[in-house]
Amino acid sequence: MTMTMARERDAEKLLEVRNIVQEFAVRGPGGVKGAKVHAVSDVSFDMWRGETLGVVGETGSGKSTLARSIIQAPRPKSGEVRFLGTDLMKLGRRALTEARRQMQMVYQDPYGSLDPRWTVLELVEEPLLGYKVGTKAQRRERACELLDLVGMDPGVFGRRRPHELSGGQCQRVAIARAIALNPALIVCDEAVASLDVLIQAQVLNLFERLRTELGLSYLFISHDLALVKQVSDRVAVMHLGQLVEVGPSEELYRRPLHPYTSALLNSIPGLDPATGKVRRPTAPKGEPPSPINPPSGCRFRTRCPLAQERCAQEVPRLRELFPGHQVACHFPLATPDGASANGTASTASSGGSSGGSNGTASASGNGAATAGDAVRS
């Protein structure tokens, strides 16, 4: 990337997250006081305007806490969250409320996120009322416009209440509320997880249309890796409160660099093109360690088939190995110079793929996770 290109890209930066930490005080084993859950530990990443960044990871890896930390609900314990150039961590209550107009969330439970006593029109008007936007008549007009935008006829649905709507329709109402104040960023936390597959596809199409029409950016959190691949420009992989890999979606699925990403991808059911048979998915080995007492060094090392002594001693930092593709691992599955985990040669070259004959990433020896089948799914 030239300097000019880098500057142009900087100008479009939406979000700069630096070293954020979020912890929760809890009772430890045996009810001992003073323990804390390390839910998000030293996480840094950037987002650009108009992009969709997917966040994946096992349950409890810290995806939702990361999202809530970004919108300062609650504020992270430390770090920096720069949104459109402003450090949200330094804003007072009133300024933060104003900044939050630009950041909205869509949650998993479409019924739970809507007040059952209100009509659809009242629900969509509510954020406008909250920020004292326009007159009553203008808010009604805007609410009708927003319902049209999300594909719901205000004349048909406007006076209904949530219990008279399907899950997909409720989610459309939630989306209309989220876009009411012209936000720049929408955080989707498992936003389609509770919908059946066909409705899921419709809602995803709606997200994509709104992205183009309104210039939105999405932080798209999901445990569904296939779905995240479909909607994201880039993907961030979380493990036990840390980002272990961030990269362009296609590339990350084709050539994962972190053994954890590789193991996660192997957990997606899919067809093995070599045999034409359904490949049996394999879950990442073992249970994730406790976030109250995470392992020293690399937090994945206790489950990693490639772990070496260094992994217990040094925390791996996120570093760029291929353009725009970062990994936090001492022994990544591929490197541009061809060195790979366990000191074996990797066939990776910039923009190419590593490992087996079918162009899949694979870790050599000792039963390490391979990612090939996941790419095919």
Ligand X SMILES: Nc1ncnc2c1ncn2[C@@H]1O[C@H](COP(=O)(O)OP(=O)(O)OP(=O)(O)O)[C@@H](O)[C@H]1O
Please, is 343 exposed, middle or buried when counting C-beta atoms within 10 Å of its C-beta (0-12, 13-18, 19+)?
exposed
Quick note: the x/- pattern for ligand X over 202-241, rule CB under 6 A, is ---------------------x------------------
User: Cis bond leading into 281, ω under 30°?
Assistant: no
- Considering the rule CB under 6 A, would residue 162 count as an interface residue with ligand X? no
Spell out the SS3 assignment of 142-207: HHHHHHHHCCCCHHHHCCCCHHHCCHHHHHHHHHHHHHCCCCCEEEEECCCCCCCHHHHHHHHHHH
Q: What are phi and psi of 75, to 5 degrees?
A: -60, 145
Q: Is residue 62 within the footprint of ligand X (CB under 6 A)?
A: yes
What DSSP designation does 370 have? B
Contact in structure between 342 and 331 (CB atoms under 8 Å)? yes
Q: Which of residues 63, 139, 299, 325 is near ligand X by CB under 6 A? A: 63
Backbone angles phi, psi at 245, to 5 degrees: -160, 140
Q: Is 264 one of the binding residues for ligand X (CB under 6 A)?
A: no
Span of 58-66, 134-142, 145-153, 364-372 interacting with ligand X by CB under 6 A: 58-66
For 80-102, give the DSSP string. EEEETTEEGGG--HHHHHHHHTT
- Of 52, 61, 232, 370, the one binding ligand X (CB under 6 A) is 61
Q: Which stretch binds ligand X (CB under 6 A): 60-68, 196-204, 299-307, 359-367?
A: 60-68
Shortest Cβ 218–ligand X spacing (Å): 16
Q: Which is nearer to ligand X, 76 or 291 (CB)?
A: 291
Q: Which is nearer to ligand X, 13 or 223 (CB)?
A: 223
Smallest gap from residue 63 Cβ to ligand X (A):
4
Beta carbon of residue 58, minimum distance to ligand X (angstroms, whole number): 7
The 285-324 contact track toward ligand X, x by CB under 6 A, reads ------x---------------------------------
CB of 29 to ligand X, least distance (A): 14
Q: Does 2 bind ligand X (CB under 6 A)?
A: no
Of 64, 169, 194, 353, the one binding ligand X (CB under 6 A) is 64
3-state secondary structure of 5: helix
Is 26 a binder of ligand X (CB under 6 A)? Answer: yes
Rounded distance between C-alpha atoms, residue 29 and residue 39, angstroms: 17
Backbone phi, psi, residue 289, to 5°: -65, 165
Q: What is the DSSP letter of 328?
A: -
CB 189 to ligand X: min, Å: 7
Whole-angstrom distance between the N-terminal and C-terminal Cα of the chain? 32
Smallest gap from Cβ 96 to ligand X, in A, equals: 20
Q: How far is residue 226's CA from residue 10's CA, in Å, rounded to a whole number?
A: 30
Chosen residue from 65, 266, 340, 354 binding ligand X by CB under 6 A: 65
Give the residue with the Cβ less far from ligand X, 238 or 334.
238
As measured in angstroms, the least distance from the Cβ of 60 to ligand X is 4
3-state secondary structure of 211: helix
Any contact of residue 368 with ligand X (CB under 6 A)?
A: no
Our finding on whether 24 is near ligand X (CB under 6 A) is yes
Query: Residue numbers of the site for ligand X (CB under 6 A)?
Result: 24, 26, 37, 39, 57, 59-65, 223, 291
